[in-house]
Amino acid sequence: MSELVPGGNAPLPGGAVTVRVPGPFDLSALVTDDGRKVRGDGDFVFFNQPAAPGAVLRGDTLTVDPPRLRAGATRVTVVVSPADPTVPLGSLPVPTLFITDTHGRHVARFTPPRPSQETVLLLAELYRRGADWKVRALGQGYADGLAGLARDFGVDVVDDGAPSAPSAPVPAGAPSGGRRAAPPRPPSDAEAPGFLPLVNSTRARAGSPPVSLDARLAEAARRHALAMAAAGRLGVEGGDGVAVHQRVTAAGFAYLTVGEHLVSGPRTLTEFVDHCLRTESLRRTLHEPAFTHAGLASAVGGPSGDTFWTALWATPLTPAGLIRARTDVIALTNHERARAGLPQLTPDPALTRAAQAHSDDMVARGFYSHTAPDGSRPWDRAAAAGSARRSIGENIACGQRSPAEVVTGWMNSPGHRANILAPGFTHIGIGFTGGGRSGTYWTQLFGG
């Protein structure tokens, strides 16, 4: 499989290919000629118009069959935008594009640099060269949404009369009533309005700042409480096999730190909070100063009609927060090296890109290993990101909630400790992604 960098390209096999971008994103595509202009509105494939000749969109997967594209088509540009237009693209996990052939074999992968102000990204283009087709990684951002992008490609965009926040465009002739982000939901549990005064008063007594209710966390909590009630048991994973952290990211909340209370038994909100205060680990989560947002839900189920509670606590992911987390991991790592009389490690952009891509990949494809499902190893990923370091080492971890926790865990493991204290390493890159079954995925990549 080809690991693409911006501007890089790779050949495509004959026949149809699938393009997938997992996560809280909307995928769309523009079918054009070499001049990058559509012939008509039918060349814009998106959620309201999911099919064109040779291009079919189903959820997070676009299937492109080049021989079946309309006459004169030589390019298919793949576009990604937030599923919820009110959520900044830069606050979500970095979108990763995967291309597979008809046999399910991975052909190429591309993770662009993290967006900042962009609301839409051109991720890649499939294009014809002679009789063959290739894919080129783009990573080009637009700050004015899908509507601006569509106009640049020659799509006629009509306004359906809604006065609210901008949404994806509706091409002329497409079904009316283009999809919009739902208005913010109220907290999903009837008692949630009383939740905030209770928890913020106990947080204040502990010296922690107040939290705000977040509709996305409330929705994730509601779905998980219902799943636990349906299965009749508590669990980080519901009876449907979905972990509570996956529900958080699926609801559109990308987090830097996350915590949860999964409790059964208390019948009222006051009983639930009292229960959390009586247990040290639950009390520590409730009082955690880093949390800024919360969501709560309960559901009744199981053989005894128990009440199953889910409370979610989180700090949203921001570019500055991610940089701070990386900086803290490096500082803690260098502190351990200084104690051992070793020189400091210098942050390296290529190693950082490779480390971040691996953390993103572990969440997106649901694995936890130094070897990715396509067989790539740490040195492969470092080279693909542009690193020329002669020696490469990698530490990974999942589930730790802070830089201090993850570095402590690595130092308590002989193999990971050996990487941190290896004299031959001179540079370092850190990756972090929230989501997946374990909640947090860390990658520490060393080069020398």
pLDDT tens per residue across span 31-81: 998 877 888 777 888 876 788 899 998 888 999 999 999 999 999 999 998
Residue 1 pLDDT: 65
Cβ atoms of 272 and 195 within 8 Å: the answer is no
Residue 203 pLDDT: 96
Q: φ and ψ at 285, to 5 degrees?
A: -65, -45
Cβ atoms of 167 and 158 within 8 Å: the answer is no
Residue 7 pLDDT: 81
Exposed/middle/buried for residue 359 (C-beta within 10 Å: 0-12, 13-18, 19+) = buried
Give residue 165's pLDDT band: very low, low, confident or very high (50, 70, 90).
very low
Question: Residue 370 carries which side chain, given as an amino acid letter?
Answer: H
Cβ atoms of 123 and 110 within 8 Å: the answer is yes
The average confidence (pLDDT) of the chain is: 85
Give residue 190's pLDDT band: very low, low, confident or very high (50, 70, 90).
very low
Residue 144 pLDDT: 56
Residue 333 pLDDT: 97
Please say if the pLDDT value at position 211 is more than 90: yes
Please say if the pLDDT value at position 351 is more than 60: yes
Residue 82 pLDDT: 85
What does the alpha-carbon distance between residue 75 and residue 30 come to, in Å, rounded to a whole number? 8
Residue 382 pLDDT: 94
Please say if the pLDDT value at position 397 is more than 50: yes
Q: For 31-113, where are the alpha helices, taking DSSP H only?
A: none
CA distances from 411 to 103, 298, 329, 375, 431 (A): 42, 39, 12, 27, 18
Return the SS3 of 390: coil
Longest dimension (CA), the chain: 70
DSSP for 331-363 reads: HHHHHHHHHTT-PPPEE-HHHHHHHHHHHHHHH
Strand pairing class (346-347; 293-301): unpaired
What does the alpha-carbon distance between residue 132 and residue 17 come to, in Å, rounded to a whole number? 13
Please say if the pLDDT value at position 167 is more than 70: no
Please say if the pLDDT value at position 373 is more than 70: yes
Please say if the pLDDT value at position 178 is more than 60: no
Residue 116 pLDDT: 73
Residue 155 pLDDT: 59
Residue 274 pLDDT: 92
Q: What is the mean pLDDT of residues 242-271?
A: 91
Residue 290 pLDDT: 93
Of 91-95, 117-121, 173-177, 247-251, give the range with the top mean pLDDT: 247-251
Of the given ranges (60-69, 188-197, 203-212, 237-246), which has the lowest mean pLDDT?
188-197
For 5-155, strand residue ranges (E) read 9-11, 17-20, 25-32, 44-45, 51-52, 55-58, 61-64, 75-82, 97-100, 106-110, 120-129, 132-142
| Token digits of residue 362 | 């572990």
User: Residue 299: how many CB atoms within 10 A of its CB?
Assistant: 22
Q: What is the mean pLDDT of residues 338-345?
A: 97
What does the alpha-carbon distance between residue 11 and residue 2 come to, in Å, rounded to a whole number? 9
pLDDT tens per residue across span 129-138: 888 999 999 8
Residue 304 pLDDT: 77
What does the alpha-carbon distance between residue 293 and residue 174 come to, in Å, rounded to a whole number? 39
Residue 105 pLDDT: 85
Return the SS3 of 122: strand
Q: What is the mean pLDDT of residues 155-160?
A: 44
What does the alpha-carbon distance between residue 199 and residue 409 come to, in Å, rounded to a whole number? 30
What does the alpha-carbon distance between residue 145 and residue 80 come to, in Å, rounded to a whole number? 10
Residue 186 pLDDT: 34
Q: Is the pTM above the cut of 0.95?
A: no
- Percent of all residues in the chain with a pLDDT value above 90, rounded to a whole number: 52
What does the alpha-carbon distance between residue 422 and residue 429 come to, in Å, rounded to a whole number? 15
For 185-341, strand residue ranges (E) read 212-213, 255-264, 293-301, 306-316
Q: What is the mean pLDDT of residues 257-269?
A: 91
Please say if the pLDDT value at position 175 is more than 60: no
Instruction: Give the CA count within 13 Å in the CB-facing half-sphere of 351.
Output: 26
Q: What is the mean pLDDT of residues 10-34?
A: 89
The separation between CA 214 and the C-alpha centre of its own chain, rounded to angstroms, equals 18
**Strand partners for 396:** 443
DSSP for 300-336 reads: EETTTTEEEEEEEEEEE--HHHHHHHHHHHHHHHHHH
Q: For 43-191, where are the alpha helices, taking DSSP H only?
A: 145-152
